[in-house]
Every structure is written in structure tokens, then in C-alpha cells.
Chain A
Amino acid sequence: MTFIHFAIILPLIAAFLIAIINKYVKGIHLGWFVLPIPFIIVSYLFTLIPTIRNGETLLLNLNFMPRIGMNFDVYIDGLGLLFAILISGIGTLVVLYSIGYLSNKEKLLNFYIYLLMFMTAMLGVVLLDNVLMLYLFWELTSISSFLLIAFWTTKERSTYGAQKSMIITMFGGFMMLGGFILLSNLTGTFSIREMIIASDSVVGVGAGTLAVVLVLLGAFTKSAQFPFYVWLPDAMEAPTPVSAYLHSATMVKAGLYLVARFTPVFMLSTTWVWTILIVGLITLCWASFNAFIKDDLKAVLAFSTVSQLGLIMSLLGISGLAIVRGANEQIFTVAVVAAVFHIINHATFKGALFMVTGIIDHQTGTRSIKKLGGLMTIMPITFTMTLITSLSMAGIPPFNGFLSKEMFLEAMFEISNSNFSSLASVGFLFPLLAILGSIFTLLYSVKIVMQVFLGEDKKETPKQPKEASALLLISPAILSFLVVLFGLVPNLLTKSIIDPAAMSIINAVEPLNTKISHWHGFDSPALWATVVIILVGATLYYFRDTWIFIYKYIRSNYTINYLYDQGLNYSTIYSNRFTKMVMTGFLRTYMVYIFGFLVVLGLITIIKTGLNLDLSNLAPIGIQDMILVGVILTALLIIMITKSRMVSIIMLGAVGFSMALFFVFFRAPDLALTQLAIETVTTTLFLVCFYHLPKQSKLPEHRKFKLTNFVVAVGVGAVSILIGLSAFSNRLFESISQYHVDHVYDLAAGKNMVNVILVDFRGYDTVFETLVFGIAGIGIYILMRLSINRKDDKNEERAEESRL
């Protein structure tokens, strides 16, 4: 147990502590007590940077469930550290921001407990080496995210969004678990590091490809890739600090982390590489296209997040190619570095943008772009921060978004130029899609700035807008400052964080010595692509009224959201319908099911094993036996067809007495005696009942009913005959009865073997049989004597109430 193990569960421990604090300390905002926790963690993580920078990694073992290979092993390399710093760093800022954002009237204790739970979960996901533990913490992120989205539980949209995100991410989580189990079967270990070493056994196997698909389903659902992005826009019903933290900077990057982490494991699988690349690009274009038309600021940002995640995902796909083609091909490692750099950049600018949106919402009372306008002079600080972060998101030169976007374009150009045989004809599509996505990114970034802050004040806002308090402004200000800082001095990051992280993605040993320092180069096509993007984007924005009509062609019932809703709706309807169809509530139906399955299973077994009849050793047949058989069959026939209840009771008696006679013929005197006595009593009982029951015995039944009944009955009879015959023909070993015959007198001092077996050899059976008899007697007595009908019941209840 080292400090880093402690740091992972520290937020959970703190969750208990603040519950106590909340009870005894009033008047101070609860967030102030939460604030030190992420701060301590991030400070500690910063002290690890020098170690990681030297190319070292940390592996800290801690046994948790060693018998099933589920250990709390922390593994820190560049990638894990980068994510852990993002989580705890932005976590600190978000807690600070939430102190200003949420008033004391909200359920603060719930909020901070969920948030701390989430923090532990995320740290666990990115720092643990064991796939089972990773899954455990992965699901904890889903659960805490669910709780946070539904924070305002009284709002219907919140619960809808929470449920949706829960269903989709849990689905992905389960698929991912399946992928992990397949992987551990193939490689023989639960540790990711050891999987990387054993990665040869994964590639080229059918199960390996299935594992790729399953793990990718987990990553795509969590990181809101196409077509699973639908939950993210609805998750915007959460409080804004949550949106900023979970749904822009950390949780949605868990899928990216997963892809990055497993890239060395699946390194030689082409399915892996191309799926990631193509899905990422589709997501980028589709989401950025959709973001432009949204009116709600948070919806714009949600689609923007989806598209940026698609961008990073496609870069990670190219990083996989880097491994396929050998790490010495620098062109592909550009993609890795770009991916890592953009993860950092996106976390900074998107976190800031969400916080800014929250400020606007907080200060004006609305997030609708249509109602906002001309806030520049009223909220100058907010405006400055929005401008910086939006331009960074759009990829405009002085800011960090420009650097990573240029690297992204560069990587896309490289891949279209490289000689993958399958790419010869469609290679040009990659840079084209990338540029298209970037143009729309520019469009919606500009839209945020232009339509919220510029133009005239529409004076439609519910509140009179004014500049926010310092408490709200400080967190986005820090992030905006970072955006500028990383834009101007990108090499601050390369050696310390980006390089180690990129090295762990492509499993490289040699230091990369990244090329970010060469960011200014006029001969690169990416620069000209940026120029094209800015020019085309500006033109399109200026003439937006002329082409905006194309959005009208996207009908609401062609969206994936509609598919999801209808899918959920119809699965409810059809499962209800199925239940109603199967569970009719009639005894007969269930009996038909039970007997029908008996027949089907019996027949299948008989057909599979085959009948092996051996009827050579039969007892002789006497004439009296045949007469008895005739009597029983006649009596049965009469029972079946008679309408009179009296006749059927008497015929049942006839069957019973014939059975007693059979027992006589088959040399079972005790049985014959018992059967005679009991049959008499039973017939009497039937007659007693008969006296009280209505005259007509046979209720009218449909012909169809009768036919099914008949088929089922014949089936049951036939199956029991066949089973009886084959059981009789195949005697596997001698009966143990010889023992009873031999020792009935010397051991038990009795001559009647049946009675000795009943009371001596197998006396326990008799004890409990007596008990059954007694219970039946008591039951009958109670049934006869207890005369409560429904009216009395109610009276008694009332009497009970009045007594109370």
C-alpha cells in the first residue's frame, strides 16, 4: 500500500468524511472541504513527472483477490499519468467552480459524494493494470455519471438522460468485459502489461478479432462515438460543473484511454486500426455538422465534444498503423503525438467552454442562443475567455488547438499518400473528411462567439445579465490561460508529458524527440489546408442563410435518437405482448406447456439414444390379468366420455379396486389391503363432494381445446410407455432387495419384508409420510372450519384499525 494506492481511494474516503462534516459544520459551502482532495492528488502526481520523463515506469503491487487474479496493481507510465493529472487537475478546478455555481440550497452532500466517487473511479480506470479492476472502476464511472446526470431528480429530462446514458454505457461496459475475458483466455493473464508481451497470441485468431470488436464497443459507447453518441447530448441535463468535468474532460476520454492502452495489445490487427480510424472520422464529420444547427449552447458543446473525440479517435487509429508499419516511420508517430496533444488541448478548452456556458446560464438565466446576444460589453471577462477557447477549438493560429489540428491534418495527408494497397482509390477521402469536419468545427465555434457576445442585446433573457463573481471566473480563467500558454510554448509539454504518453501508446522504447518544435513549416500541406478551412469557413458563415436549408432535410425520424427511442419503446411493447401471450392466467395453458415440454424432451432423448428393447424375460399372462386390463380400460373410457359426475366417480372407484386386484395377482398383499381401504375412503370423499357440487359435470370445451388436450395426453402416454419399456429392457445391475430378503429376520426380527422395510430399514420415509398425512388432516380441518369470506375479512380489518 503506497501513497498512490491511497490516492486512488482517497476521494471515496473523503466522501465519508464530508458526510460527517456536512452534519456538524453549517454556514460554510461544502465544496471548500472537498477542494483539497483533488489538489493533494494532483500535487502528488506532479512529483512523479521527473521519474516518468526519464522513461521509467512504476509498478506497485497490492493483492486484492489474488486467487482469481484480480489485484490492485497500479501501473504508472506516461499515458496513465497524463490522464490522472487531467482528472485530478480539472477535478480541482471543477470543484472550485462548483462552489460558485451551486448554492447552499442544492443537495450539496449528494453532489460532492457522487463527484468524489467519480474521481476515484476515473483514477482507478487510468492507473490500474488489471483488466478486471479496470472494468470494476469503469462501471463505477457509469454509475456515478448516472447519479450526477440525474442530480435534479424532479426534472423529467434529467432522468431520461441519465437512464439513456446508463443503458448505452452499461451495454458497452458488458461487451468490454466479454472482450477482456476473451483476451485473458488468449493470453493467460489479467494484467495489461503481460497482455502486451503475449500479444502475438491475439492476432490472427477468430477470438482475437471478436475481442477487438467487444473492447471497441466498450470504448465507442463510453467515448460517444458514432452511432453511440446519442447519450451525450441528453447528458447535458446535468449541472454544468458535471458536464464540464465528466462529459468533456474526463469520462468521455475513458474510451480514448482504453483504445490507447490496448493499441499495443491489438497492434497487428487490421480490424482494430481501420475501425477506429473510420468510426473516428465519421463521428468527427457527423457531430460537427450537427453541432452548428443547435440552439442550446450546451447541445452545441456536446456535439462539439463528440466530434473532437472522433478526431482523437481517428488519430489513435493511425497510431495503430504506426506500429504495423514500424515505429521508425516518423510520419505515423506524428499521429500519436497529435492524439495525446489534442487530448490535453481538448480538456483545457472544452472544460473552459463548459464553465463559460455555465456562467452565461447562471448570469442570464438561459442557454438558448436565440435569446442571447450582445453580451460582450456586459460580460467582458467571460467574452475574452470564450473567444480564446472557441478560437482554440476552431484551430486558429495563436492557440493550442491550432497546433494539434495542424498535426491532425498532417497525419491525414500522410495516410492518404502512403502506399496501403487497399487505399489507392479512396485515400483522398481521409484528408477531405478531416477538412470538412474542421470547417464545421470552425463554423460552430464562430457561431458561439458571434451570436452570444456580438450583435445587439436582445433583452430577452430571464435575468438582467451582469459579470460573474470571481469564484466562478477563476477556473475557466486558469484553463484559458493554459490554452494560451500551451499554444505559445508547446514544448513545455513535449518532453515531460506528451512523449512518455505517446511512447506508451505505441509501446516504443526509443525516445521520440517530438517534432512540435517544427510547427512552423511552409511546405507542409496542413498549413494550406488550415488556410482553406478558415477561408471556406468564413465564407460559409457569412452566407449561412443561403445554405442553412439543408438541415431541413434531416427529418427527425431518421436520427439515431429516434431509432434508440423507438427501439426502447418497441422492446417494452413486444415484451409485454409476449408475456401476455404466454402467461394467460389459465391453469390449462400452463399444464399444456409442462406436459408439452415433457413430451418434446422425452421424444428427443429417446430418438437420440435409440430404443434398445429386450422383452425376452417376461412373466406369463393369465386370463384374469386380461380381464382386469379390460375392466380398467372400459372404466377409463367411461370416465372420459361421461357427462354424469356420479358415473365418473364410480368408474374411478372401479379403476382403484382393479388396481387392488392387480396387487393381489402380483403378490403384494399389503398393497392390496391398503389400496382397498384407501380407495373406499377416496370414493366416499368424492361422493361427499359430489353432493355439494353442481349437477353438470362436464363443462363445454372448444373442439380445438379437446384436440390439443388429446394430442398432449397421447404424447405423454406414449413417452411414458417408451421410457418404461426401455428402462425395463436395460437392467444395468441387480436389485439390492436380496439384502433385505436375506436379513429381514436376523437383523430386524420380522418376517413381513414390506413392513420391515417400511418401519425398520427405511423407517424415515414412513415418519415423514405420516407427517404428510397429519398435515393434510390439519389442512382439511382448517378448510372446513374456517369460515371467513371476503366480507368478514374487511370487517376484521376495520376492527383491527379501530383497535389501533
Chain B
Amino acid sequence: MEFITIVLSGILIGAGTYLILSKSVLRIIIGLSVLSHGIHLMLLTMGQLKRGNVPILEDSVTNYTDPLPQAMILTAIVISFALTAFSLVLALRNYKVLGSDDTETMKGAQNEN
């Protein structure tokens, strides 16, 4: 299973990269989201998968999955959400001011002169 998730997260990261390299701001933000999905999956895989029970203490269970990567991913999800939300609003604002979501046309437009 880990082999498959590693390959899948690699594909997600690659696809994210491809989207980030495009011209449209919205596609860049989508790419950012895809990239962070890939990284979350990679993080989880590194802590090994399916090796025991849900990490909630019960008397009868001795074997749990690793709780530490889960805590880290939780933090990462929230932060990447904050980032995505902010960049989306920024893109919106940018579009309203410049009338374009093409990064190529943004060059030099923001100069204050």
C-alpha cells in the first residue's frame, strides 16, 4: 500500500507543479492545493499505514497507528487552507484592479508610477 501512496503523492506533487507553472492565477492556486494534498499524503505514508488501530486509547488495544504524523498533517492542513484562502482573495482583488488573471500581463503593472 505504501508504494502506491508514495507514487500517488509523487503524481500529485508533479501535477501541482505543472499547474503552478501555468499562466492563469486560478490554476496556480489550484496547483498549490494539489501540491499540498500530495505532501500531506507523503507525510502520512512516512509514518507507515494501517499498522494498528485508530489512535484513541482503549484498554483492549495495544497497537495504534502513529499519531505524530497525523498531528502534523492537521496543522499543515489548517495552514495551507489559510494560505489558499488568502491567495484566492488576493487573486480576486488583483483581477478587480488589473482586469486580468494572466501572470504574464502582470509584469510591471503594479509599479506605482
Chain A residues in the interface with B (C-beta under 8 A): 585-588, 591-592, 595, 615, 618-621, 625-626, 629, 632-633, 636, 639-640, 645, 648-649, 652, 655-656, 659, 662-663, 665-671, 674-675, 678, 681-682, 685-686, 688-690, 692-694, 697-699, 701, 708-710, 712-714, 716-718, 720-721, 724-725, 727-728, 735-737, 740-741, 744-745, 750-754, 757-758, 762, 765-766, 769, 772-773, 775-777, 779-780, 783-784, 789-790, 793
Do B18 and A709 have beta carbons less than 8 Å apart? yes
Task: Kindly provide the distance from the CB of A709 to the nearest chain B CB, expressed in whole angstroms.
Answer: 4
Say whether B101 contacts A718, CB under 8 Å.
no
With contact pairs A701-B22, A758-B74 given, residues A693 and B101 touching in the complex (Cβ less than 8 Å): yes
- B24 near A689: Cβ-Cβ < 8 Å: no
Residue in A652, A665, A714, A757 whose beta carbon sits within 8 Å of that of B14 in the complex: A714
Complex interface residues of chain B between 1 and 51 (CB less than 8 A to chain A): 1-15, 17-24, 26-30, 33-34, 37-38, 40-42, 44-51
In the bound assembly, the distance between CA atoms of A784 and B24 in angstroms comes to: 21
Counting chain A CB atoms within 10 Å of each CB, the highest count among B9, B27, B53, B74 belongs to B74
> Residues of B contacting A766 with CB < 8 Å?
75
In the complex with contacts A586-B104, A668-B44, A713-B84 CB distance below 8 A = no
Whether A659 pairs with B37 at a CB distance below 8 angstroms is: yes
Taking a contact as CB atoms under 8 Å apart, the answer to whether B57 and A751 are in contact is yes
B9 & A757 in contact (Cβ 8 Å cutoff):
no
Are A713 and B37 neighbours in the complex by a CB distance under 8 Å? no
B17 touches A776 (CB 8 A): no
Instruction: Name 18 extra pairs, CB < 8 A, besides A632-B12, A758-B74.
Output: A639-B30, A659-B40, A662-B5, A666-B50, A667-B50, A674-B74, A678-B81, A699-B23, A709-B22, A713-B17, A720-B38, A735-B66, A741-B64, A773-B79, A780-B85, A783-B86, A784-B89, A793-B112
Do B55 and A753 touch (CB < 8 A)?
Answer: yes
In the assembled complex, the Cα of A61 lies from the Cα of B18 at a distance in Å of 67
Contact B56 A752 (CB under 8 A): yes
In the complex, what residues of B have CB within 8 A of residue A633's CB?
8, 11
How many residues of chain B have a CB within 8 Å of chain A? 86
Give the distance in Å from the alpha carbon of A714 to the alpha carbon of B102 in the complex: 24
Closest to B100 in A: A694
Which residues in A have their C-beta under 8 angstroms from that of B26?
645, 686, 689-690, 693, 697
User: Among the listed B28, B30, B46, B83, which residue makes an inter-chain contact with A727, where contact means beta carbons less than 8 Å apart?
Assistant: B46
**Contact across chains for A636 and B34 when beta carbons are under 8 A apart:** yes
| Contact A619:B88 (CB < 8 A) given known A666-B44, A670-B74, A692-B95 | no
Query: B79 to A682, Cβ gap below 8 A?
Result: no
Given contacts A632-B8, A779-B86, is CB(A693)–CB(B95) below 8 Å? yes
- The answer to whether A656 and B77 touch across the interface, beta carbons within 8 angstroms, is no
Interface pair B93/A698, CB less than 8 Å apart: no
Q: Are A783 and B93 in contact (CB under 8 A)?
A: yes
CB pair B81 A681 closer than 8 Å: yes
- A585, A625, A737, A777 pick with most chain B CB within 10 angstroms: A737
Compute how far the CA of A753 lies from the CA of B104 in the bound complex, rounded to whole angstroms. 48
Which residue of B3, B20, B74, B81 is within 8 Å of A682 (Cβ)? B81
A777 to B93, CA, bound (A): 15
Query: Which residues in B have their C-beta under 8 angstroms from that of A736?
Result: 68
> CB < 8 Å: which of B4, B21, B41, B53 contacts A709?
B21
B71 contacts A757, CB within 8 Å? yes
Selected contact of A758 from candidates B14, B24, B71, CB within 8 Å: B71
Q: Is there contact, CB below 8 Å, between A769 and B75?
A: yes
The tally of CB-CB contacts under 8 A between chains A and B is 270
Q: A712 → chain B, closest Cβ, in Å?
A: 6
Q: Which one of A671, A675, A697, A714 contacts B27 once the chains associate, using CB atoms below 8 Å?
A: A697
B46 & A620 in contact (Cβ 8 Å cutoff):
no
Q: Which residues of A contact B93 (CB under 8 A)?
A: 783-784
The answer, among B34, B51, B102, for a CB contact under 8 Å with A699, is B102
* Cβ-defined contact, A762 with B71, below 8 A: yes
Between A and B, 28 residue pairs with Cβ closer than 8 Å are: A585-B108, A618-B2, A619-B49, A625-B1, A626-B4, A633-B11, A648-B27, A649-B30, A656-B37, A666-B65, A669-B54, A689-B88, A697-B26, A699-B23, A699-B102, A710-B18, A713-B15, A724-B10, A725-B6, A740-B67, A740-B68, A751-B58, A753-B57, A753-B64, A754-B67, A765-B75, A776-B83, A790-B112
Q: Is B74 touching A618 in the complex (CB atoms < 8 A)?
A: no
In the complex, chain A residues whose CB is within 8 Å of the CB of B70? 668, 670-671, 754
Residues of B within 8 A of A682 (CB): 33, 81, 84-85
The CA of A659 and the CA of B108, in the complex, are separated in Å by: 39
In chain A, what residue has the closest Cβ to B54?
Answer: A667
Q: Is the CB of B86 within 8 A of A776?
A: yes
Given the complex of chains A and B, what is the CA–CA distance between A741 and B52 in angstroms? 12
Chain A nearest CB from B77 CB (Å) reads 6
Contact check, B10 vs A776: say whether CB atoms are below 8 A apart.
no
Per the bound structure, the CA–CA distance linking A626 and B10 in Å amounts to 16
Q: Are B23 and A588 in contact (CB under 8 A)?
A: yes
Smallest distance from the beta carbon of B30 to chain A beta carbons, Å?
5
Q: Is the CB of A671 within 8 A of B77?
A: yes
Q: Is the CB of A659 within 8 A of B41?
A: yes
Whether the pair B6, A721 counts as a contact (CB closer than 8 A) is yes
Chain A residues contacting B9 (CB-CB under 8 Å) are 720-721, 724
Residues of A within 8 A of B53 (CB): 667
Instruction: Please state if A636 and B15 are interface contacts (CB–CB under 8 Å).
Output: yes
Cβ contacts under 8 Å, A776 to chain B? 82-83, 85-86
State the Cβ distance, B31 to closest chain A Cβ, in Å. 9
A570→B87 CA distance, assembly (Å): 43
Contact B86 A780 (CB under 8 A): yes
* B2 close to A728 (CB less than 8 A): yes
Select which of A586, A629, A639, A714 is within 8 A of B8 by beta carbon: A629
- Greatest chain B CB density within 10 A among A662, A665, A666 is at A666
Please name the residue on chain B nearest to A649 by beta carbon: B30
| CB-based contact A674/B24 at 8 Å | no
Query: Which residues does chain B contribute within 8 Å of A689, judged by CB atoms?
Result: 26, 88-89, 91-92
CB atoms of A639 and B19 under 8 A apart: yes
Given contacts A591-B21, A713-B18, A776-B82, contact A686 B65 (CB under 8 A): no
A656–B80 Cα distance when bound, in Å, is: 13
Q: A666-B49, A698-B27 are in contact. Are A640 and B15 (CB under 8 A)?
A: yes
Q: Which 4 A-B pairs have the closest CB atoms?
A: A717-B14, A721-B10, A713-B18, A776-B82
Known: A621-B4, A678-B78. A724 touches B11 (CB 8 A): no
Measured in the bound complex, the distance between the Cα atoms of B12 and A583 in whole Å is 29
Q: Which residues of A contact B96 (CB under 8 A)?
A: 692
Chain A residue with the shortest CB-CB distance to B72: A765
Contact B1 A699 (CB under 8 A): no
CB nearest to A637 among chain B residues: B15
B35 to chain A, nearest CB (A): 9
Residue from A586, A615, A626, A789 within 8 A of B3 (CB atoms): A615
> Which of B4, B18, B79, B84 has the most chain A CB atoms closer than 10 A to its own CB?
B18
Q: State whether A685 and B88 are in contact (beta carbons under 8 Å apart), knowing that A652-B33, A754-B55 are contacts in the complex.
A: yes
CA distance A199 to B82 in the complex (A): 67
Contact A724 B37 (CB under 8 A): no
Do the beta carbons of A667 and B55 come within 8 Å of each other?
yes
Closest CB in chain A relative to B105 CB, distance in Å:
9
Check B21 against A713 for contact (C-beta < 8 Å): yes
Give every chain A residue within 8 A of B68 (Cβ-Cβ). Answer: 735-737, 740, 757
Chain B residues whose C-beta falls within 8 Å of the C-beta of A758 in the assembled complex? 71, 74-75
Q: Please state if B101 and A694 are interface contacts (CB–CB under 8 Å).
A: yes
